Structure 1
């Protein structure tokens, strides 16, 4: 197949939430989009996202990848290479959690730590490592390519759905700095740390009543008296992929919640 002439963005965890919004945002910005699907349970949602991206006038590819599997990550990048022949942006949105109170030490065991780290931290690393050669190859002497990692407010203030989740996202922030050094100058690496986001990960981790209570509490506590929308995080990701002077940064997008820590 003839190499794609327009830029290409690869989004993990793109069947719902921030990932779905990110795929559509890049499609509307003129990118061809590779849409990451976790397993058969999310396939229909991934196909709907792909349809919306095609309606926006772009080409799409759905890749199936459990990012915790290195073989899946490498196969996903191979499919992008075969289909498009280039990669301008990778947005690591895939994530998992289980709601466990931070002081419920007996409920958080090593198996849960390993499960969360496998996706949120190791999976992010493996996908970036797999994509790095194609990102470097696509970059030019005058135009870098980009990786954006979706972190969390939990990484900045030690809160969130569980201690394991907060720790995994803290590791993402540190890894973002290391990768930014390692992949420079051809590839830039940044992270976004959202606070509460409508239709985000917690929607799949809580029942409707508990989820509504969290939304209400976060809205009340935020100085801006709101929670974010997935498209707002997607807008930041798209900006970071077109900002040639920004690398190694963690951008907090939390409606002022960090101000409450003072």
Structure 2
């Protein structure tokens, strides 16, 4: 069913939990219609996010998506545009990691490097490619990719994760050039976010230790929340038209420590 409503539409990958779910709610509060994409394993969580968006008065759609499958990416982009009648924003939030000490090279198998790259980099590219036409037709298309401070400084959960997030930065710069003047492309590079990806891959004791470390070392003695990242994301998608090709760090001042 095609909807001819002129209310803008955003497609968010990895939107069932964490930062992606926060983005869905933030766009809904800003009167955007929201396409919530999710893996099959998190469909129930995605449906709960959809219900929250609809309770705010926003139209929302849940769609199954594996960003590593190019045919699936293209089909989802087409489905979202057909359902809502347009697509104005793309937020590439889907991501994976494992915590592996950087110096323990033997603990990082090629398969894990490939898995991380396939989701974090290839998946981001494939979704940009799949949504390009719809975003151009919008006349005001904008994309936000998620990098990380890991991609800026080579730190983070693993060498593979840091490398993938560095690649997202390069991809963002390339796409900002290639898709101009019709589509703006920016990236957000968060520091540690409570309720983000680490909370889904670490045991409680390890997670508590990580959070304590960041609270001690960050100049701003608080933990970033998914809603903080979501607010910046909405600003970049819906805000000033002159911003493109930017990598915006949000890390509670951690970079000030060198």
Q: Same fold (TM over 0.5)?
A: yes
TM bin (shorter chain): over 0.9
Q: Give me the TM-score of the superposition, normalised by structure 2.
A: 0.98
Give the Cα separation in 2 of the matches to 1:154 and 1:193: 8
Which one is further off, 66-75 or 246-255? Answer: 66-75
User: Is the counterpart of residue 258 in structure 1 residue 249 in structure 2?
Assistant: no
Shift of 1:137: 0.6
Are 1:206 and 2:202 counterparts? yes
Q: 2:219 is matched with which residue?
A: 223
Q: For 2:91 and 2:19, locate their aligned partners in 1 and report how far apart those are by CA, in whole Å.
A: 10
Q: What does the per-residue CA deviation read over 1:80-104, in whole Å, with 9 as the maximum and x for residues that have no partner? A: 0110111111000000001100011
Q: Displacement, 1:145? A: 1.5
* TM superposition shift of 1:4: 2.7
Shift of 1:27: 0.5
Matches within 5 A, 1:42-121: 42-121=42-121
RMSD of aligned residue pairs (Cα, Å): 0.7
Give me the whole-angstrom Cα distance separating, in 1, the residues matched to 2:194 and 2:5: 34
Conservation of the 8 A alpha-carbon contact between 1:220 and 1:226: no
Q: Deviations over 1:174-200 (max 9, x none)?
A: 000000001101100000000000100
Unaligned runs of 5+ in 2: none
Counterpart among 169, 176, 180 of residue 165 in structure 2: 169
C-alpha distance in 2, partners of 1:38/1:92?
14
Deviation at 1:79, TM superposition (A): 1.0
> How many matched pairs?
256
Q: Which residue of structure 2 aligns with residue 245 of structure 1?
A: 242
Once structures 1 and 2 are overlaid, which stretch shifts more, 124-133 or 76-85?
Answer: 76-85
Contact 1:180 1:188 in 2 (8 A): yes
Distance in structure 1 (CA, Å) of the matches to 2:3 and 2:27 = 21
Q: Which residue of 2 aligns with 1:16?
A: 17
SS in 1 for 2:113: helix
Tell me, in whole angstroms, the C-alpha distance in 2 between the residues paired with 1:23 and 1:222.
Answer: 28
Q: Where do 5+ consecutive residues of structure 1 fail to align?
A: none
**SS where residue 33 of structure 1 aligns?**
strand
